[in-house]
Amino acid sequence: MVREKLASSVLILAAAAGSLPARAESGWGELNMTQGVTDISRKIYDLHMIIFWVCVAIGVVVFGAMIWSLFSYRKSRGAVADVTLVHNTKVEMVWTVVPVIILIAMAVPAARTLVEIEDTTKSELTIKVTGFQWGWQYDYLDDGVAYFSHLDRKSNAARELLSGIDPNTVEHYLLNVDQPFVVPADTKVRLLVTGADVIHSWWVPAFGVKKDAIPGFVNEAWFKVDPDKTGLYRGQCAELCGRDHGFMPIVVDVRSKSEFATWLKAKAAEQKQAAAPGGTPEAPAPAPPATASTAP
Amino acid sequence: MAEVLTHAEHDDHDHKPHGWRRWVYATNHKDIGTMYLIFACTMFFIGGGAAMLIRLELFQPGLQFFDPQFFNSLTTMHALIMIFGAVMPGWTGLANWMIPMQVGAPDMALPRLNNLSFWILPFAFTLLIGSFFVPGGAPAGGWTMYPPLILQTGAAFPMLIFSIHLMGASSILGAINVIVTIMNMRAPGITLLRMPLFVWTWLITAYLLIAVMPVLAGAVTMLLTDHFFGTTFFTAAGGGDPVMFQHIFWFFGHPEVYILILPAFGIVSEVIPTFSRKPLFGYEAMVYATASIAFLSFIVWAHHMFTVGMPLAAQLFFMLSTMLIAVPTGVKVFNWTTTMWKGSLSFEPPMLFALAFLFLFTIGGFSGLMLAIVPADYQYQDTYFVVAHFHYVLVPGAIFGMMAGVYYWLPKWTGNMYDLKLAKWHFWLSTIFVNVLFFPQHFLGLAGMPRRIPDYAVQFTDWNMVSSIGGFGFGLSQLLFPYIIWKCVRGGERVGNRAWEGAHGLEWELPSPPPYHSWTTPPSDAVIARGAEH
């Protein structure tokens, strides 16, 4: 009786949920971490999957024992308690030492990947990233290029309270910006991350990079996108930073090295022009993209 | 010579005040325990109401109900109210009710301090909840109150700080009372290693409280002076460091989460043996494991901060210490499971909640272990994966543990058995909906949804919808809980001393309900032997 009631309630809820318009990219498939487009993001994914399966294995054993007990040792089935089973030092030692061994086995690859992540040496390009309320600023320090990146207009209009605009009609709702962050593929890009007002956090899941943007301090992070993985990658601010914390996304436009060089040169010229209209003869030529490795 | 305590004795010593004075001037541990529990239940529904509003906004993408700033206030206040208003006072209520009875004492050691500890709380929460109504609204910087953001709070700021000071004072005084009672008022024959696990876990919890609540007080005082008196503890421009707040906060914050769970460990360690008709497996190991967890809880705090830009060595240290804390926790799970193994199990409501705790807290433990792996944490931090983890350990963990305790001891408190059928409904609805509510949040976090956002990209719609349905179902189901309790207080099938067949412990040697002063003479050796843990 109880079971039928429960089943019919679940069905009604499922029907209610299912009656909503289906989307091309079904949210139901959004289940796991991305493998990403960098070597580091793949290593992170692998660590994630290893620890996941370790937990599943332990869970099967432990939950198996619990479920077995629930069925085999029921009083209603006539089970009589074995009141002498109250302690066993040997088994306590086993299930203390074996988990420690499993943990050490996990910690080794994790530590190795962490050491690699923390090594920002030999980077080929350094860009300052500043989080502010509510958007990002990207400053190509050696190239005289700096610009802001805000939530794009369409998303911004749709997200207003009771806007009447269906988010499903907005392209990349809440994950689109007016000026994406342009970087080259196959290049170790070092980011200097800071905050202008409160703490923000720059996160692009596809790169496996998340670093807090703290006012008054500069954090370092790096990524190197695979050579064949040009394209757009999206992320969000990952530290509560006020009213529009959910509305300051990140879009990275990864271009080939040559395309990036072209873009950077053009952008530098454009910004110089905007700064000094008409151009002055004494204005220095735009600096070439930095290729020298920056000291750690 | 066994002492037989009857209702007649209780009436002979009935000098207690009546009417409102009984409650405002209460010094009796049962009365104060009752007040704590009613307060906690009220806060649970207020904090739960905030959660319902959160899930309502998150039901679909787009903003349908609330301004984002108000949404941030909802998430902030939901956490503050649940942690400091529901869980901590709930545990203190159970401590007050049970510790004196379980150690053979007439009352707590410091009854008037006990009164103060309770009565601080309604004032503290009036101040905190009142902040919704002042210019700028309630605090919206997260319950973690990170500067500089928290310094952007409006008129609510001093209300937040002072209410935290008050709550902290209440907890510290309560903890002192617990320690003094346990260390000084155990009846002769109740040695430390013969105490029930609930008493042990509360003893350790009390030490944690005394150690870390002052640290929180220090942290929020520095916020106060930064805001009003020109100090720059957390402002780089003045030579300070916002990250230092995080270190200080989480030095409090991590032991705090063990404060939130340890009493649940204690309750489950009593309920499972009772309904397995078998003593707890590995009593000493359980005590040492709890003590190890408490000790380790002081050296893991920065795992809440892996993305702040910590040196490599620090990240490695905190990764290893955090992974290590899984070991004693695992020991406890194995011991509870082995207690059931070759037992004779029955499934009354306390046991149902304890079993759900065992299963679902373990799942929360697994996601915690995953979070410990630092490189992976870079993808989990500040996403719904973290939200899923801590809600698994706090809701089917702490809250179900508390419900197990209430369903276990309610017949003792009232002398009546409650409606078991209705309690089982409460159990099944809660267990099913809590999973519908929180399990999908693992997916959302892994798929890339950050936390503390009122609106989200459309690929997160489906699982958010499921989670919200779970939230509404879970919230509604909880209405059964106070109803069942109220109905039981009003009447029910009378129970004797030992309300549950397999129950051991001194509280089951007393009548149901117990006399006003519990043990007016210490229990005899024979009674202790019957009630002893092992």
Distance, CA of B427 to CA of B479 (rounded, Å): 12
In a domain, A251, yes or no: yes
Residues of A in contact with B340 (CB under 8 A): 66, 69-70, 73
Asked whether residue A124 carries a pLDDT value surpassing 80, the answer given is yes
Whether residue A70 is found in the same domain as residue A212 = no
pLDDT (tens digit per residue) in A161-179 = 999 999 999 999 999 999 9
Q: Minimal Cα–Cα distance from B465 to chain A, Å?
A: 7
CB contact under 8 A, B363 and A59: yes
User: When comparing pLDDT for A281 and A227, which is higher?
Assistant: A227
Q: Minimal Cα–Cα distance from A201 to chain B, Å?
A: 8
Kindly state whether A22 is in contact with chain B, defined as any CB-CB distance less than 8 angstroms: no
Helix runs in chain A, H state only: 2-18, 39-72, 89-117, 153-158, 257-275
| Cis geometry, peptide bond prior to residue B513 (ω within 30 degrees of 0) | yes
Residue among B194, B27, B19 nearest B115 (CA): B27
pLDDT (tens digit per residue) in B272-297 = 999 999 999 999 999 999 999 999 99
- What is residue B125's three-state secondary structure? helix
Asked whether residue A130 carries a pLDDT value surpassing 80, the answer given is yes
Mean pLDDT computed over B144-163: 98
In a domain, A6, yes or no: no
Whether residue A52 is found in the same domain as residue A109 = yes
Q: With beta carbons less than 8 A apart as the criterion, state whether B369 and A55 touch.
A: yes
Closest Cβ opposite residue B327 in set A62, A70, A96: A96
- Exposure b/e, B205-234, CB count within 10 A at least 16 = b: bbbbbbbbbebbbebbebbbebbeeebebb
**Number of separate domains in chain A:** 2
Whether residue A137 is found in the same domain as residue A263 = yes
Q: What pLDDT, on the 0 to 100 scale, is given for residue A291?
A: 44
Whether residue A194 is found in the same domain as residue A228 = yes
Distance, CA of B278 to CA of B503 (rounded, Å): 10
Asked whether residue B65 carries a pLDDT value surpassing 90, the answer given is yes
CB contact under 8 A, A32 and B68: no
Q: Name the pairing type of β-strands A125-132 and A189-195.
A: parallel
Token pair recorded at residue B81: 């109210």
CB contact under 8 A, A219 and B309: yes
In a domain, A291, yes or no: no
As annotated, the active-site residues of B are: 78, 107, 143, 170-171, 254, 256, 258, 269, 303-304, 329, 332, 451
Q: What pLDDT, on the 0 to 100 scale, is given for residue A288?
A: 45
Whether residue A129 is found in the same domain as residue A43 = no
Whether residue A115 is found in the same domain as residue A210 = no
CB contact under 8 A, B61 and A63: no
Question: CATH code at A51?
Answer: 1.10.287.90
Residues pairing with A251 in the sheet: A234
Kindly state whether A110 is in contact with chain B, defined as any CB-CB distance less than 8 angstroms: yes
pLDDT (tens digit per residue) in A45-81 = 999 999 999 999 999 999 999 999 999 999 999 999 9
Residues of A in contact with B369 (CB under 8 A): 51, 55
In a domain, A208, yes or no: yes
Question: CATH code at A184?
Answer: 2.60.40.420
Asked whether residue A284 carries a pLDDT value surpassing 70, the answer given is no
Kindly state whether A209 is in contact with chain B, defined as any CB-CB distance less than 8 angstroms: yes
Angle at A248 between CA A244 and CA A252, to 5 degrees: 175
User: When comparing pLDDT for B11 and B400, which is higher?
Assistant: B400
**pLDDT band at residue B527 using 50, 70 and 90 as cut-offs:** confident
Question: Mean pLDDT across chain B, nearest whole number?
Answer: 95
Asked whether residue B52 carries a pLDDT value surpassing 60, the answer given is yes
Whether residue A129 is found in the same domain as residue A264 = yes
**pLDDT band at residue B532 using 50, 70 and 90 as cut-offs:** low
pLDDT (tens digit per residue) in A133-149 = 999 999 999 999 999 99
Look at the alpha carbons of B221, B226, B227, B228 in this order and tell me if their dihedral is positive or negative. positive
CB contact under 8 A, A73 and B342: yes
Residue B109 DSSP symbol: S
In order of A131, B40, B422, the CA distances from B234 in angstroms are 18, 33, 52
Mutate which of A199, A217, A248, A251 to disrupt the B interface (most B C-beta within 10 Å)? A199
CB pairs under 8 A between A and B: 310
Closest Cβ opposite residue A212 in set B308, B335, B450: B308
Residue among B194, B342, B334 nearest B276 (CA): B342
Token pair recorded at residue B318: 């905190």
Closest-CA residue of chain A to B459: A27
In a domain, A135, yes or no: yes
Q: Minimal Cα–Cα distance from A167 to chain B, Å?
A: 6
Whether residue A181 is found in the same domain as residue A93 = no
Q: What domain range includes position A146?
A: 125-275
The ipTM of this complex is 0.94
Cβ-Cβ contacts under 8 Å for A123 (sequence gap 6 or more): A188, A189, A190, A222, A293, A294
Whether residue A219 is found in the same domain as residue A101 = no
- Exposure b/e, B20-51, CB count within 10 A at least 16 = b: eeebeebbbbbbbbbbbbebbbbbbbbbbebb
**pLDDT band at residue B348 using 50, 70 and 90 as cut-offs:** very high
SS3 readout for B436-465:
HHHHHHHHHHHHCCECCCCCCCHHHHHHHH
Whether residue A186 is found in the same domain as residue A101 = no
Closest-CA residue of chain A to B448: A205
Distance, CA of B176 to CA of A95 (rounded, Å): 35
CB contact under 8 A, B455 and A237: no
- What is residue B278's three-state secondary structure? coil
Whether residue A199 is found in the same domain as residue A102 = no
Distance, CA of B489 to CA of B288 (rounded, Å): 38
In a domain, A50, yes or no: yes
Cβ-Cβ contacts under 8 Å for A74 (sequence gap 6 or more): B344, B345, B346
Asked whether residue B209 carries a pLDDT value surpassing 80, the answer given is yes
pLDDT (tens digit per residue) in B133-153 = 999 999 999 999 999 999 999
In a domain, A157, yes or no: yes
Whether residue A98 is found in the same domain as residue A228 = no
In a domain, A15, yes or no: no
Question: Mean pLDDT across chain A, nearest whole number?
Answer: 89
Residue among A219, A204, A290, A203 nearest A254 (CA): A204
